[in-house]
Amino acid sequence: MTDRLIVLGTGNANATRCYNTCFAIDTENGLLLCDAGGGSGILRQLEDASITWDRIHHLIVTHAHTDHLLGVVWVIRMVATWMNNGKYDGELHIYCHHTVRDGLIQMAKLTLQKKMIDRLDDRILFHTITDGHKEQMLGREVTFFDIRSTKMKQYGFTMPIAGGRTLCCLGDEPYNPECRAYVEGADWLLCEAFCLYGDRDRFKPYEKHHSTVKEACELAQGLHIPNLVLWHTEDKTIARRKQLYTAEGSAYYNGRLFVPDDLDVIELGGMLNFDNHDSRLRFVDLLLERDTLDNIPSAQLPEGYSFAFYRPGDRDQWIDIECSARELSSFEQGVKVWQEYYGSCENALDKRMLFIVNPKGEKVATATAYQLDDPDMGQVHWVAIRREEQGKGLARPLIAKVLEVMRDLGGKRAFLHTQTTTWVACRLYLQFGFHPTAESAEKHRDGWRIMRALTDHPALDGFEPAEMDTVLNQSDFGGKSC
């Protein structure tokens, strides 16, 4: 059985359009509940998630903020009632630090009947956690760590999940480097993202000791974490939250990004951790097109970076970028490729070949608005970003800019060739409004099924996700990248 993450709430403390962030992890040995939101709304969330009280035997309470704590009183009330009515076997174990424990006991004594309070320290048992403390639950060793909150004592935790993987819950505040030993190496990271980086002036996350989508994604990218779940968000953008957060996050993070809604269920097995240029994937050519060059998504370069067009003498820097990005295997191959595609049209590259220049003045990324025989159709050509510059938010501005260049040169539609082994780039193109060409949808159907399995992008809803044995490369063949 694959473990499942049942998302009970995704909002921050003031959210009214969704429930406060809390969740359950469903395993073959039982269910673990983490936090319970800010009140009786937990009753509805658990009911809608088809979680009955007799399934909850382990509850982690990360800290004492109202949006995490007050719902726990309702959990205690309902479990105690089920115990007293003979419907609940065994014990409820609550894991929290001593301040939370004392507060919960006091609130229970103030608000609950004696017959419910009598279950405390009888069959409702508190376990006091400290930094590095370990507890056995559901047949697994869970490790707690102090997240070094500047507002209130708070704990995150790591735990093994099915398939030999590890999940880390970071709490609801920004990552502290002192916690690196607990977070690094996780396969799944559960992380707060108060709002979009682009909305930071509107929602002021830093004043509230929270981070944005950009920072959460940069963290996961820097720690090489393959799966990232973002929640504990504002709710003013909830109608488009998944779309907006995914678009911003994908500029900084190459892994699998989840922006769930309340009551979503995420399978924690999923795909292996694939690189953005990964020979372990089965190679299949893919052809995409964009039907119009209107409404190109906007994206800004990070501070200190700038665009530059080709100038005579830039060939070797172009080859160096392509080799670093693993698009080419050697300088000699680069010379041949350059001659094949650009040797006869170098005089036009000063208007078509783009570079991104970093704050040190180094060219670190490139893409070309290549002209095809059809004057209305341009090709996005030989896109590459140096390996050490990937994950810094360069890809989206680069694609946006090359499409703008194509449009300004009279193009009306765009085409590109990529492949399954560069699946992260393909995902970005889909986000920019590209879709499979009719020919490719038929001829390369297996490739699009692989892309559906890796990205689950809505543009690929017409393809069934591929099974793992057809996703993986079963031979040593490869192919040219674009």
318 with 375: CB under 8 angstroms?
no
Shared domain check, 290 and 258: no
- Rounded Cα gap, residues 169 and 191, in angstroms: 7
Element (H, E) at 181: helix 180-183
CATH number where 159 lies: 3.60.15.10
For 140, 188, 292, 298, the CA distances from 161, given in Å and listed in that order, are 8, 9, 45, 39
Shared domain check, 261 and 291: no
Does residue 419 lie within any of the structural domains? yes
- How many structural domains compose the chain? 2
Paired strand residues for 27: 30
- Rounded Cα gap, residues 451 and 420, in angstroms: 7
| Block residue for tokens 């070949």 | 353
318 with 346: CB under 8 angstroms?
no
Shared domain check, 115 and 52: yes
Shared domain check, 255 and 296: no
**Please, what's the b/e burial string for 239-258 (b: 16 or more CB within 10 A of its CB; e: otherwise)?**
eebbebbbbbbbbbbbbbbb
11 with 17: CB under 8 angstroms?
yes
The last residue of a domain, from among 232, 267, 302? 267
Long-range contacts of 477-481 (CB under 8 A, 24+ apart): 477/283, 478/279, 478/283, 478/421, 479/283, 479/285, 479/419, 479/421, 481/277, 481/326, 481/327, 481/418, 481/419, 481/421, 481/422
Shared domain check, 296 and 252: no
> What residues make up the domain containing 351?
285-471
Using CB atoms within 10 Å of the CB of residue 139, give its burial: 0 to 12 exposed, 13 to 18 middle, 19+ buried: exposed
Paired strand residues for 233: 11
Task: List phi, psi (to 5°) of 118.
Answer: -65, -20
Does residue 480 lie within any of the structural domains? no
- Provide the CA 332 distance to its chain's centre, in angstroms: 38
- Rounded Cα gap, residues 297 and 403, in angstroms: 10
The last residue of a domain, from among 267, 299, 333? 267
Shared domain check, 308 and 430: yes
Does residue 272 lie within any of the structural domains? no
220 with 226: CB under 8 angstroms?
no
Q: Degrees (nearest 5) of the Cα angle 282, 287, 289?
A: 145
Shared domain check, 308 and 246: no
- pLDDT tens-place values along the chain, 482 residues long: 689 999 999 999 999 999 999 999 999 999 999 999 999 999 999 999 999 999 999 999 999 999 999 999 999 999 999 999 999 999 999 999 999 999 999 999 999 999 999 999 999 999 999 999 999 999 999 999 999 998 899 999 999 998 788 999 999 999 999 999 999 989 899 999 999 999 999 999 999 999 999 999 999 988 888 899 999 999 999 999 999 999 899 888 878 899 999 999 998 975 566 777 788 899 999 999 999 999 998 888 999 999 999 999 999 999 999 999 989 999 999 999 999 999 999 999 999 999 999 999 999 999 999 988 898 999 999 999 998 898 788 999 999 999 999 999 999 999 999 999 999 899 899 989 999 999 999 999 999 999 998 888 889 999 999 887 788 886 533 333 33
* Angle of the 331-342 helix axis to the 315-324 helix axis, nearest 10: 120
- Rounded Cα gap, residues 471 and 466, in angstroms: 6
Tens digit of each residue's pLDDT (9 = 90 or more) over 148-165? 998 899 999 999 998 788
pLDDT, residue 379, reads 96
pLDDT, residue 482, reads 35
Shared domain check, 112 and 197: yes
Shared domain check, 246 and 107: yes
Does residue 481 lie within any of the structural domains? no
**Please, what's the b/e burial string for 266-275 (b: 16 or more CB within 10 A of its CB; e: otherwise)?**
bebebbeebb
Shared domain check, 292 and 259: no
CATH number where 462 lies: 3.40.630.30
Output the six-digit token pair for 105. 């006991």
Shared domain check, 312 and 243: no
Does residue 277 lie within any of the structural domains? no
Does residue 478 lie within any of the structural domains? no
The 3-state DSSP composition of the chain as helix, strand, coil percent (nearest 5) reads 35, 25, 40
- Rounded Cα gap, residues 367 and 432, in angstroms: 15
Shared domain check, 249 and 119: yes
Does residue 34 lie within any of the structural domains? yes
The CB density around residue 77, as the number of other CB atoms within 10 Å, is: 18
Does residue 280 lie within any of the structural domains? no
pLDDT, residue 468, reads 75
